[in-house]
């Protein structure tokens, strides 16, 4: 926290030194800190791509001009934007420029002894004077020693100081913040985050192609994916019968940690992921996959198996699409799945309870062109029916078959799917360690009082005591009173 006092010298070197001093001054650090707070605000009020991509798309749909201007200012990616980064990078440079010199200075000061006893003690705070017996200095020395003060003896006087921990804690706190930043940066460079929907009974192999969605940190490579695989053995969701609120999700998996290793049974819950070193597997969402068999006119099976549907409400009313691209013309089933079927006057068929008590599959059958070859990525839960023709409409119970002109579909049963999130973040350990150190540092710096006490006995036997509390630390008056009481008691 250097003071900016001298006028900048002329020339590049002088200019640089001036900029450095400005940047590492306390005032700049304070402004940057407040600026960081202010800069965080827009990201909490405007939807962000990373958290809420759907809302961002709505912005673009409702007013493309304003949305594109907002996008140019990175308002949909505030926390990854250049202006946000600029603030915290400057803040951390300022912090480093401030903390490192202070740490060195503190190390020097920690080895040094307390300063000389001031000549005019009566000018200091809490000054007291009385005629003593001459033994006061040795009593004071043991008193300070017991209280772990640093002591410096002089001829007829003594300086004692305590509370170096305050500055140590302060520096530890700021160094710990740097450690957190290092952890966050490591995470940004070497992390991965992927999601995959897996039906119960299916196997998940940790390779890039098995993911539905996968993103890497800047320096993450495919080869860094840990080579595990797991099979989803069972998934159980329990709900409160009165409120329909979920009470528990339990996912049972068999894990093969490395190719060739024996499978091990493990349980994953919402708050307890499965861990492999710095990689964790989380249970993030779940839903139903109706199992169907689709046959063509000739009675040959053209599609069979569980199709994941997307839940729309808390009772798991789900929507989905069954696409049969290999027939000619192509077939598509726009479908809803109701785990416990009920009717609503406004919404029509809905689910009244999240568990599969009375499952129903509502279908509308379309034939024509699914549009899969147009190169535009499609949602697996929706069908573009603009080039298709509706040929039937039906509600099926488990075991029912619906036969239409071009074939038939049978609703075989229901399975559940889980959305697994796999995250590897090698920086999180550093961030956590930094967080713990930061709290310890804060406690030390906010609860340690730094103070000096002086005792002098002059040749006539007059005892003088005075003290100084740094940054107005409270309690020194009481401490000095205690010292004086003890000094006087020791010499009746």
Residues that bind other proteins (CB under 8 A): 1, 26-27, 29-30, 33-34, 36-37, 40-41, 43-45, 47-48, 50-52, 55, 78-79, 184, 193, 240, 243, 245-249, 269-273, 280, 282, 284, 421, 423, 425, 428, 431-432, 435-436, 438-439, 442-443, 446, 471-472
Instruction: Give the C-alpha separation, 307 to 332, whole Å.
Output: 13
Cβ closer to other proteins: 16 or 26?
26
Minimum gap (Å) between residue 406 Cβ and other proteins: 43
Q: Name the residue with tokens 């730094």.
A: 450
Smallest gap, in angstroms, from Cβ of residue 266 to other proteins?
16
CB nearer to other proteins: give 193 or 364: 193
- Residue environment code for 142-169, b if the CB has 16+ CB neighbours within 10 A, otherwise e: ebbeeeebbbbeeeebbbbbbbebbbbb
User: Minimum Å distance from CB 103 to other proteins?
Assistant: 16
Burial of 10 (0-12, 13-18, 19+ CB in 10 A): exposed
In angstroms, how far apart are the furthest CA atoms of the chain?
122
Query: Could you give the CA distance from residue 386 to residue 320 in angstroms, rounded to a whole number?
Result: 17
Q: Which is nearer to other proteins, 55 or 397 (CB)?
A: 55
Residue with smaller CB distance to other proteins, 210 or 296: 210
Nearest to other proteins of 261, 432 (CB atom)? 432
We find the least distance from the C-beta atom of residue 401 to other proteins, in angstroms, to be: 37
* Distance in Å, CB of 416 to other proteins, minimum: 15
Considering the complex, what minimum distance in angstroms separates the CB of residue 77 from other proteins?
10
Q: How far is the CB of 254 from other proteins (least distance, A)?
A: 21
Tell me the three-class secondary structure of the chain, residue by residue: CCCCCCCCCCCHHHHHHHHHHHHCCHHHHHHHHHHHHHHHHHHHHCCCCCCCHHHHHHHHHHCHHHHHHHHHCCCCCHHHCHHHHHHHHHHHHHHHHHHHHHHHHHHHHHHCCCCCCCCCHHHCEEEEEEECCCCHHHHHHHHHHHCCCEEEEECCEEEEEECHHHHHHHHHHHHHHHHHHHHHHHHHHHCEEEEEEEECCCEEECCHHHCCEEEECCCCCHHHCCCCEEEEEEEEEEECCCCCCEEEEEEEEEEECCCCCCCEEEEEECCECEEECCEEEEEEEEEEEEEEEEEECCCCEEEEEECCCEECCCCCCEEEEEEECCCCCEEEEEEEEECEEEEECCCEEEECCCCCCECEEEEEEEEECCCHHHCCCCCCCCCCHHHEEEEEEEEECCCCEEEECCEEEEEEEEEEEEEEEEEECCCHHHHHHHHHHHHHHHHHHHHCCCEEEEEEECCCCEEEEEEEEHHHCCCHHHHHHHHHHHHHHCCC
Quick one: tokens of 233? 């053995």
As measured in angstroms, the least distance from the Cβ of 486 to other proteins is 25
Q: 432 vs 477, which CB is nearer to other proteins?
A: 432
Query: What is the rounded distance in angstroms from the CA atom of residue 258 to the CA atom of residue 487?
Result: 72
Q: How far is the CB of 34 from other proteins (least distance, A)?
A: 5
Taking the complex as a whole, the smallest distance from the CB of residue 340 to other proteins amounts, in Å, to 19
Our CB check for other proteins shows the closer of 31 and 124 to be 31
Query: Smallest gap, in angstroms, from Cβ of residue 10 to other proteins?
Result: 30
Nearer to other proteins, 223 or 471 (CB): 471
* CB 388 to other proteins: min, Å: 35
- Cα-flanking dihedrals φ and ψ of residue 244, to 5°? 65, 0
Q: Which is nearer to other proteins, 105 or 326 (CB)?
A: 105
Q: Are 243 and 221 in contact (CB under 8 A)?
A: no
Minimum distance from residue 419 beta carbon to other proteins (Å): 11
Tell me whether residue 157 or residue 200 sits nearer to other proteins (CB atom).
200
Closest CB to other proteins among residues 302, 473: 473
Nearer to other proteins, 12 or 45 (CB): 45
Nearest residue (CB) to other proteins, 248 versus 478: 248
């Amino acid at each position: 926290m250097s003071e900016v006092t001298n006028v900048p010298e002329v020339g590049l070197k002088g200019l640089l030194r001036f900029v450095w001093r400005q940047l590492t001054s306390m005032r700049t650090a304070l402004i940057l800190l407040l600026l960081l707070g202010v800069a965080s605000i827009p990201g909490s009020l405007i939807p962000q791509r990373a958290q809420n991509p759907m809302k961002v798309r709505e912005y673009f749909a409702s007013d493309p001009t304003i949305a594109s201007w907002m996008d140019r200012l990175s308002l949909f990616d505030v926390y990854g934007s250049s202006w946000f980064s600029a603030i915290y990078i400057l803040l951390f440079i300022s912090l480093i420029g401030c903390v490192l010199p202070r740490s060195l200075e503190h190390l020097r000061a920690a080895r040094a002894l307390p300063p000389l006893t001031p000549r005019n003690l009566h000018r200091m705070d809490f000054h007291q004077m009385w005629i003593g017996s001459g033994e006061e200095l040795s009593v004071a020395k043991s008193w300070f020693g017991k209280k772990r003060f640093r002591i410096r003896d002089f001829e007829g006087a003594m300086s004692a100081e305590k509370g170096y921990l305050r500055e140590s804690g302060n520096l530890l706190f700021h160094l710990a913040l740097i450690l957190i930043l290092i952890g966050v940066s490591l995470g940004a460079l070497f992390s991965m985050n992927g999601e995959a929907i897996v039906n119960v009974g299916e196997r998940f192999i940790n390779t890039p192609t098995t993911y539905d969605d996968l993103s890497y940190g800047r320096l993450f490579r495919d080869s860094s994916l840990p080579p595990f695989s797991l099979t989803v053995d069972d998934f159980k969701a329990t709900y409160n019968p009165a409120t329909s609120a979920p009470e528990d999700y339990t996912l049972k998996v068999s894990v093969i940690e490395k190719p060739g290793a024996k499978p091990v049974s493990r349980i994953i819950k919402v708050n307890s992921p499965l861990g492999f070193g710095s990689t964790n597997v989380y249970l993030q969402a779940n839903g139903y996959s109706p199992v169907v068999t689709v046959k063509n006119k000739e009675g040959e099976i053209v599609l069979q198996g569980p199709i994941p549907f997307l839940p729309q409400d808390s009772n798991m009313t789900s929507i989905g699409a069954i696409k049969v691209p290999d027939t000619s013309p192509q077939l598509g089933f726009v479908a809803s799945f109701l785990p416990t079927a009920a009717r609503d006057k406004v919404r029509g068929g809905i689910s009244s309870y999240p568990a599969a008590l009375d499952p129903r599959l509502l279908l509308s059958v379309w034939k024509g062109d699914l549009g899969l070859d147009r190169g535009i990525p499609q949602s697996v839960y929706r069908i573009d029916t603009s080039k298709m023709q509706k040929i039937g409409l039906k509600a099926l119970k488990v075991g029912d078959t619906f036969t239409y002109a071009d074939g038939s579909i049978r609703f075989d049963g229901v399975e559940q799917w889980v959305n697994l999130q796999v995250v590897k973040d090698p920086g999180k350990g550093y961030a956590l360690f930094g967080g713990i150190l930061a709290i310890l540092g804060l406690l030390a710096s906010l609860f340690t009082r730094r103070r000096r006490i002086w005792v002098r006995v002059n040749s006539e036997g007059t005892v003088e005591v005075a003290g100084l509390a740094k940054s107005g630390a409270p309690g020194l008056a009481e401490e000095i009173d205690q010292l004086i009481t003890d000094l006087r008691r020791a010499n009746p």
